[in-house]
Amino acid sequence: MKTETVAMILAGGQGSRLGKLTKHIAKPAVPFGGNYRIIDFALSNCANSGMNDVGVVTQYQPLILNNHVGNGSSWGLNRHNGEATILQPYSSMEGEKFFKGTAHAVFQNIDFIDKKNPKYVMILSGDHIYKMDYQKMLDYHKEQEATLTVGVMPVPWEDASRFGVMNTDKTDRIIEFQEKPENPKSNLASMGIYIFNWDRLKKYLVDNQAKDRQLTDFGHHVIPAYLRNNEAIFAYSFEGYWKDVGTIESLWSANMEFLDPEHELDIRDRNWRVYSNNPNTTPQFLTESAKVTDSMITDGCYISGEVVHSIISHNVKIGKNSSIKDSFVMPNAVIGENVKIEKAIIGEGAQIHDGTEIIGSDDNIEVVGYDEEVGGYTDEN
């Protein structure tokens, strides 16, 4: 079967607002929800939507991300007709090819896309938490005979000035784009999800490159260029849970929302599963002294303390008389005895020694970095 659509997941960004959580790993590889990494949502959406040809564009600290995505087999994206491919900077006869922006990353990978020879290219971001049927958006794109369809979602009017906003006419055609406008004319925020007709987009990217005017970014350069040329750009409205976990606070609150068994993301829905590349580990062991309520615990955990309203990722150890509340603990963290943690994110492989207290607040979530050690002899002050 010929490839109709290539999905490009842009996963190269650092996500610097996540601070030490993205020092050594790219944002889409940040752990989420006990058993996942952020990119699992975009990859699972691709798999569930039948978009089997996926390019994952990576650049910043990609080791863990690449290892996680592998050949895509965890998401069923390693078929004879469709596969996941990691795309990273490379060199060529023309020189070194780093990716300077979202559109530039696509420009640098024209060869990859051309090899698949698709009719459409779908641009996705690797760092959003949501469930979406991309096939429906593609159907809409075809129906409207659009050359570009932008995924949008209505946001509260008071928040609209924080987003790229799309003003549409009555037919949902986009007639204006405002990046973080002071006085938004619309509350339809761009989700950073685009469907392009490939031949058209390629022409824009190549022609402008030839004129030395690089179209570096989709929002800043490509959409305005499309608007200038009166292309058929349509807005596709998405209703449902969608979250950009770009800051410590939003990462923490997205996890707390995820924890709710009534949450609309419904992680247990067998018809739209979120896949991940899980480790082979032991069952979760809750000992005699454990007390666990309103929490998610993952395989490989050994829990002797108290856990309230928290997500504990795989292979975490929690010692006796420790208490974890309103927190998200990433995989392989080791928490000693008599530790108290509240409103915090504990990084992968962190070690929290006996007797330590880590107390955050709603406005100031405490963060312990990956492999960081807190308390104990090594850091006694």
Partner 1 sequence: MRTKIAPILNLVEENENLKPLTNRRPVASLPFACRYRLVDFPFSSLSSIEAPSAALFISGSGHSLYDHIRSGATWGLESSVGGGVFTHSHINLKAELEDPQYQGNYYDDHYHYVSRSHAEYVMIMGSNMLSNIRLDSLLRFHEKKDSDATVIYKKIKRSEVREDSIHSALIMSEKDNDKIEGIRPVTDTTDPNDSLLLNMEMMILSKDAFLNYLFKAKKENLDVSVKHIITYCHGSEHNIYGYEYTGYLKVIEDIGSYYQANMDMLNEDNFNSLFYRSNPVLTKLKNSAPTYYGKHAEINNAQFANDCEVYGKVENSLVFRKVTIAEDAHIEDSIIMQDSCIEEDVHLKYVILDKHVYVKRGAKLEGTPDEPIVVAKDSVIYEDGTIEEGE
280 binds a copy of itself (CB under 8 A): yes
Let me know the angle formed at the C-alpha of 68 by 65 and 71, rounded to the nearest 5 degrees: 110
268 binds partner 1 (CB under 8 A): yes
Residue 180, annotated ligand binder? yes
Place of tokens 């008071």: 158
The two tokens of residue 97 are: 């090819």
The two tokens of residue 252 are: 């923490």
Q: Which of 144, 163, 143 is nearest to 154 (CA)?
A: 163
Contact in structure between 179 and 220 (CB atoms under 8 Å): yes
User: Using the rule CB under 8 A, which residue among 3, 78, 216, 338 binds partner 1?
Assistant: 78
User: Using the rule CB under 8 A, which residue among 4, 17, 98, 173 binds a copy of itself?
Assistant: 98
> Which one of 14-22, 28-36, 165-173, 322-330 is the stretch in contact with partner 1 (CB under 8 A)?
28-36
Q: Which of 9, 267, 45, 55 is nearest to 136 (CA)?
A: 45
70 binds a copy of itself (CB under 8 A): yes
Q: Which of 140, 143, 154, 159 is nearest to 190 (CA)?
A: 154
According to DSSP, residue 75 is labeled G
263 binds partner 1 (CB under 8 A): no
67 binds a copy of itself (CB under 8 A): yes
Let me know the angle formed at the C-alpha of 199 by 196 and 97, rounded to the nearest 5 degrees: 85
User: Using the rule CB under 8 A, which residue among 2, 81, 91, 183 binds a copy of itself?
Assistant: 91
Encoded amino acid at 71, one letter: N
**Shortest spacing between CB 65 and a copy of itself, in angstroms:** 10
241 interacts with, out of partner 1, a copy of itself, none, CB within 5 to 8 A per kind: none
299 binds partner 1 (CB under 8 A): yes
Instruction: State the number of binding residues for partner 1 (CB under 8 A).
Output: 50
Largest pairwise CA distance in the chain? 71
Contact in structure between 300 and 314 (CB atoms under 8 Å): yes
> Which one of 23-31, 99-107, 158-166, 276-284 is the stretch in contact with partner 1 (CB under 8 A)?
276-284
> Which one of 101-109, 140-148, 158-166, 274-282 is the stretch in contact with partner 1 (CB under 8 A)?
274-282
| Secondary element (H or E) of residue 63 | helix 63-69
**How many Å apart are CA 318 and CA 151, to the nearest integer?**
42
Instruction: State the number of binding residues for a copy of itself (CB under 8 A).
Output: 31
Question: 166 φ, ψ to 5°?
Answer: -110, 120
**How many Å apart are CA 182 and CA 162, to the nearest integer?**
9
20 interacts with, out of a copy of itself, partner 1, none, CB within 5 to 8 A per kind: none
Residue 179, annotated ligand binder? yes
User: Using the rule CB under 8 A, which residue among 88, 135, 253, 277 binds a copy of itself?
Assistant: 88
Please report, as ranges, the residues that interact with partner 1 according to CB under 8 A.
1, 33-35, 47-48, 50, 52, 73-76, 78-82, 135, 259, 261, 267-268, 270-271, 273-276, 278, 280, 282-288, 290-299, 311-313
Residues annotated within a binding site for alpha-D-glucose 1-phosphate: 164, 179-180, 190
Please report, as ranges, the residues that interact with a copy of itself according to CB under 8 A.
12, 14, 23-24, 58-63, 66-67, 70-71, 73, 80, 85-93, 96, 98, 111-112, 115, 280
